[in-house]
Structures are given as structure tokens and as C-alpha cells.
């Protein structure tokens, strides 16, 4: 039975991240990374980055070059988890006092950001592969006779991630992936593994168990073979 195509999507949920590492050569790896929940996501606003260059000749746009420089985005949370701040912003828990603090000399760690949109026919799971976050602002507000939570905004950049994948024959090809998305009808195995191991193009997942959820996500038992990337 063919699944009807989505006409629209709404609501965003099931936000997770996979912490990456970067070596001295700039290579990013997600080896052994497990998905970590980022609860309390209220909204996600992501804008494409890149320039369009037009060259006029023969009375028309003779050449049009469009660059893809990734995305910049803002994820709004009820509260950004302290674990995310340690994993991806390199905040540290002081052993003497127990406080968690930020070090001005610390560099943020790369991470992949994944989540899910509800669709009118079926849900859509998405990933931004190579993200770097900036420090969130700190704010508070007194509200008359109300106990309404404040919000925290996480600003991030999603850059192209270099990968080497099969060309479908006997060779390989270098690509730069930025974003991906999948529905359960596309590949149930990849769908089931979405929140447990980072799904990368060119790396087929292997199922340890069958995905039986209804798209509410995050507790599937499928794993991928490897999650290593190289910088060309």
C-alpha cells in the first residue's frame, strides 16, 4: 500500500543531538556517539545560507551559480539542558564547588542536531549534520501573578560535512552533506535508528530489532555500522 504524500507538516518534537569530535586536521567523527535528548523544544527557525551569482550574456542569465553554505538557525527551548552545555559548549563542573561554569578559552564541539516534524500523512525526521552552537543568552522576567517559564534560545550554524561515499559502481565520490530527512515509508530501518545512532549517507544501518513505534520516536534498537567522516 502506497503512503499518501504529506501536504504539510506542523509541530516539532523529539529533539536529540549527537556529540562529535574534531581532530587537529579538522576531521569530524561521530564514532560511538549516542543520541542525547534535548527536551522542551518550542520552535525551530532555520535559514539557508549561500549566494546566487548571475552572469549576463546573450541578453539573458547565461550562467547562474548558487552556493550552499549551510544554514543558520535558532532553536527555542523551555530550558537548554546542562548536559548539552557540557557536551557541546564545553562548560565544566568544578570539582571543588560543584558549580558548572563556562571557560572563555574553550572551543565548542561539533554536533549533529536531529528531530521530527508531524506530517498530515506521516511524520518527518530530520538531521543537520555539522552544527556549532553559540552561547545562549541569559534572561529572566518578573510576571504579574504568573508562573510562566522563561525561554532560552540556542543559535547554531549547520555547515557542510565532508563525506566519502560509494558512487554506485566500484569507486567513491566526495560529497558535502548539510541536511537530511526521512519518512518511515522511505526506509523503516533508517527511520527506526534515527535517534540512537547518527545516520550518514553511504552507511547502511543494520537492524537489531524491528521498529514498532508510531513515530513518537527515540527508543528504537537499530544501529549503524560506522559514523566516521573525513575532511578531504
In a structure prediction context, what are the per-residue pLDDT tens digits for the chain, which is 232 residues long? 678 899 999 999 999 999 999 988 888 988 878 899 999 999 999 999 999 999 999 999 999 999 999 999 999 999 999 999 999 999 999 999 999 999 999 999 999 999 999 999 999 999 999 999 999 988 888 877 778 888 899 999 999 999 988 877 888 999 999 999 999 999 999 999 999 999 999 888 765 433 434 444 444 333 343 344 444 4
Nearest Cα to Cα of residue 179 among 116, 226, 134, 126 = 126
Cα 200 to Cα 95, 179, 214, 225, distances in angstroms: 37, 10, 23, 10
| Separation CA 46–CA 154 (nearest Å) | 11
| Separation CA 200–CA 37 (nearest Å) | 19
| Separation CA 92–CA 83 (nearest Å) | 10
Residue 58, H or E segment: none
Nearest Cα to Cα of residue 179 among 196, 199, 164, 165 = 199
Amino acid at each position: 500500500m502506497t503512503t499518501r504524500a504529506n501536504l504539510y507538516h506542523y509541530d516539532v518534537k523529539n529533539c536529540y543531538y549527537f556529540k562529535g569530535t574534531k581532530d587537529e586536521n579538522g576531521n569530524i567523527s561521530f564514532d560511538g556517539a549516542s543520541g542525547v535528548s534535548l527536551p522542551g523544544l518550542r520552535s525551530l527557525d532555520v535559514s539557508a545560507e549561500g549566494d546566487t551569482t548571475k552572469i549576463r550574456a546573450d541578453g539573458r542569465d547565461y550562467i547562474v551559480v548558487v552556493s550552499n553554505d549551510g544554514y543558520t538557525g535558532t532553536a527555542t527551548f523551555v530550558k537548554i539542558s546542562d548536559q548539552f552545555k557540557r557536551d557541546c559548549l564545553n562548560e565544566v563542573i568544578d570539582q571543588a564547588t560543584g558549580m558548572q561554569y563556562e571557560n572563555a578559552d574553550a572551543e565548542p564541539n561539533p554536533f549533529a542536531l536531529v528531530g521530527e516534524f508531524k506530517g498530515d500523512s506521516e511524520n518527518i525526521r530530520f538531521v543537520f549534520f555539522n552544527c556549532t552552537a553559540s552561547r545562549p543568552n541569559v534572561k529572566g522576567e518578573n510576571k504579574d501573578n504568573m508562573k510562566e517559564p522563561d525561554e532560552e534560545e540556542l543559535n547554531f550554524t549547520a555547515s557542510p560535512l565532508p563525506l566519502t561515499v560509494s558512487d554506485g559502481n566500484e569507486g567513491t565520490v566526495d560529497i558535502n552533506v548539510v541536511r537530511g530527512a526521512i519518512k518511515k515509508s522511505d526506509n523503516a530501518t533508517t527511520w527506526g535508528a534515527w535517534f540512537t545512532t547518527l545516520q550518514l549517507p553511504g552507511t547502511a544501518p543494520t537492524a537489531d530489532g524491528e521498529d514498532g513505534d508510531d513515530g513518537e520516536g527515540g527508543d528504537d534498537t537499530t544501529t549503524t555500522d560506522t559514523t566516521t567522516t573525513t575532511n578531504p
